[in-house]
Amino acid sequence: MHAIVFRITIHDREESDRLLRDEFVPTLSQAPGFVAGYWVQSGENEGTSVIVFESEEAMQGVVEQGPPQTDAFTLNSFETGEVVAHA
Q: What is the per-residue pLDDT across 39-78, written as a single tens digit (0 to 9) for each?
A: 999 889 999 999 999 999 999 999 998 878 899 999 999 9
pTM of the full structure: 0.90
Strand partners, 26: none
pLDDT value for 48 = 96
Q: Please give the C-alpha separations between residue 49 and each of 20, 39, in angstroms, as whole numbers.
A: 11, 4
Question: Rounded to a whole number, what is the distance in angstroms from the first to the last CA of the chain?
Answer: 13
Query: What H or E segment, with its residue span, contains residue 36?
Result: strand 34-43
Give the span between the Cα atoms of 65 and 80, in whole angstroms: 14
Nearest to 58 by CA among 34, 37, 80: 34
Domains and CATH numbers, the chain: 2-82 (3.30.70.100)
